[in-house]
Amino acid sequence: MNREDLAAALELHATDAAHGAALALRAGAAFKVWEKLKPAHQYLDIYAWRAECMAQDGVSTCKDFEQGLPDLQRAGDDPVALGRVDTAEGTHLVFLAADLKSCVAVL
């Protein structure tokens, strides 16, 4: 997947995290998208558990988790590709539809 296609997919997703990741990509941020597809619920299980652990440790979950986890949950069993965009603020995890043309969630 190239930079422009990933930025376009992120721009279609109406969350602050997706917008920030798209801006970072257009400014030259490093990124990676893995080709292997997995059902969205497998990622949801991992990241919902991570958010729960963070909350138990007194670390409030970030806005990206608050917006992204419900999006990932709605994807259910749909296959998604995992990617990442490295911004100045940190790494955004990007979940893309199987066709890689639309963004499902950003954490």
66 by Cβ neighbours in 10 Å (0-12 / 13-18 / 19+) ranks as middle
| CB neighbour list of residue 91: distance below 8 Å, 6 or more residues apart | 84, 85
User: Token pair for residue 78?
Assistant: 């749909």
The whole-angstrom separation of Cα 40 and Cα 80 is 6
Sequential pLDDT tens for the chain (107 residues): 999 999 999 999 989 889 999 999 999 999 999 989 999 999 988 888 887 887 777 765 566 677 888 999 999 999 999 999 998 888 899 999 999 999 999 98
Tell me the pTM.
Answer: 0.88
Domain range enclosing 25: 3-106
Domain count, the chain: 1
The whole-angstrom separation of Cα 23 and Cα 78 is 27
